[in-house]
């Protein structure tokens, strides 16, 4: 009996020590520099968000938060790097609906499962897209673009940051609704795709995040035709919405959010959530997000997880409606 009692006492002491150690880790976290991974190259909307949140976390915590761009493989390289990182809260991942939702809606043999292999911390922002063309194209409205496409079947080329991404499917959806035929030219990331349209060469149009192309629209280097929202963008109030131009089914948005590897302690996840939500309430941050075409979108980890699940099902339906068969990588 005494031996059983001693075992129970030892077990209780070990449990208390473990709880104490975990609490101590959360209290001292972070005690060294952190890394924020992203699957996008520098210059795009996701990269801008990663750098903004990293800067603000660094200022609050007195620790450097380094942004590292792991580009390639339709975003899979960056996601895999995040999944394989130690689950200690020192590796964060700025994900997007492109790489967290869109891939899983189109490929049947994904090498990971987002909700199993990553822990959602919070969305950071949502953003709508804008349909842009090079100023040399003889169109100033969506209706004129549709007419041009019908007069020139197969001669309208459009860019995207990659096959199967949000912007690619937006254009496919637009083509179906408008009854036009266009040729897709994929690039490696938003910066390359936008550069192709800016060059005024063979690629004349694309859907892009508002954050990425707003400076070019304001400078007259690109012409914005419509935004995929039901209310005008704060960043581009002069551009009509898809509802105004007769395409109400195209009200869509993408999101970006922070994740950590599965197994990260819950108290660290909660601390990250609290800090980032506090950052997203700062007037300066809200203003910067709005100027880039983003809207702050803070949620609890549980609500973020529910959003991912519902968005995955939504895009599965859209992919099916477009007649796209789920493929293997």
Per-residue pLDDT of the chain (329 residues; tens, 9 = 90+): 455 545 444 544 444 444 444 444 557 899 999 999 999 888 778 899 999 999 999 999 999 999 999 988 778 899 999 999 999 999 999 999 877 887 777 777 777 888 899 999 999 999 999 999 999 999 999 999 999 999 998 889 999 988 877 888 999 999 999 999 999 999 987 889 999 999 988 899 999 988 889 999 999 999 999 999 999 998 899 999 999 999 998 998 889 999 999 999 999 999 999 999 999 999 999 999 988 789 999 999 999 999 999 888 888 888 888 888 776 66
Element (H, E) at 204: none
Spatial contact of 67 and 58, defined as CB atoms under 8 Å apart: no
Tell me which DSSP letter residue 134 carries: -
Fold (topology level) of 32-126+255-321: D-Maltodextrin-Binding Protein; domain 2 (3.40.190)
Residue range(s) occupied by CATH 3.40.190.10 in the chain: 129-250
Superfamily of domain 129-250: Periplasmic binding protein-like II (3.40.190.10)
**What pLDDT, on a 0 to 100 scale, did the predictor assign at position 59?**
96
**What pLDDT, on a 0 to 100 scale, did the predictor assign at position 101?**
82
Q: Which token pair is 201?
A: 């060469």
Residue range(s) occupied by CATH 3.40.190.150 in the chain: 32-126+255-321
**What pLDDT, on a 0 to 100 scale, did the predictor assign at position 49?**
94
Spatial contact of 307 and 151, defined as CB atoms under 8 Å apart: no
Total count of residues recorded for the chain: 329
**What pLDDT, on a 0 to 100 scale, did the predictor assign at position 6?**
53
Taking the C-alpha atoms of residue 172 and residue 322, their distance in angstroms, rounded to an integer, is: 8
Taking the C-alpha atoms of residue 257 and residue 122, their distance in angstroms, rounded to an integer, is: 6
**What pLDDT, on a 0 to 100 scale, did the predictor assign at position 11?**
45
pTM for the full predicted model: 0.77
């Amino acid at each position: 009996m005494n031996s059983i009692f001693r075992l129970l006492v030892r077990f209780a002491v070990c449990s208390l020590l473990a709880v104490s150690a975990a609490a101590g880790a959360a209290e001292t976290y972070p005690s060294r520099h952190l890394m924020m991974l992203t699957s996008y190259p520098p210059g795009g909307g996701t990269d801008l968000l990663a750098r903004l949140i990293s800067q603000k976390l660094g200022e609050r915590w007195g620790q450097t938060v380094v942004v590292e761009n792991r580009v390639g493989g339709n975003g899979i390289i960056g996601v895999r790097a995040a999944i394989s990182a130690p689950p200690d809260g020192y590796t964060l991942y700025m994900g997007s609906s492109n790489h967290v939702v869109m891939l899983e809606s189109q490929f049947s043999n994904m090498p990971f499962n987002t909700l199993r292999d990553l822990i959602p911390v919070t969305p950071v922002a949502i953003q709508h897209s804008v349909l842009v063309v090079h100023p040399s194209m003889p169109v100033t409205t969506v209706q004129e673009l549709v007419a041009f496409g019908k007069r020139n079947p197969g001669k309208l080329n459009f860019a995207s940051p990659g096959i199967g991404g949000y912007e690619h499917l937006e254009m496919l959806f637009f083509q179906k609704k408008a009854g036009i035929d266009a040729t897709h030219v994929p690039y490696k990331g938003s910066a390359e795709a936008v550069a192709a349209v800016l060059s005024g060469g063979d690629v004349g149009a694309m859907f892009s995040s508002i954050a990425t192309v707003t400076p070019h629209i304001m400078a007259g280097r690109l012409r914005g035709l419509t935004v995929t929202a039901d209310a005008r963008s704060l960043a581009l109030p002069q551009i009509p919405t898809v509802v105004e131009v007769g395409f109400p089914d195209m009200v869509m948005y993408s999101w970006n959010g922070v994740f950590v590897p599965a197994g990260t302690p819950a108290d660290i996840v909660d601390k990250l959530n609290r800090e980032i939500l506090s950052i997203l309430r700062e007037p300066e941050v809200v203003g910067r997000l709005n100027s880039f075409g983003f809207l702050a979108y803070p949620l609890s980890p549980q609500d973020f997880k529910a959003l991912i699940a519902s968005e995955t099902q939504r895009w599965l339906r859209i992919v099916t409606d477009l007649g796209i068969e789920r493929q293997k990588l």
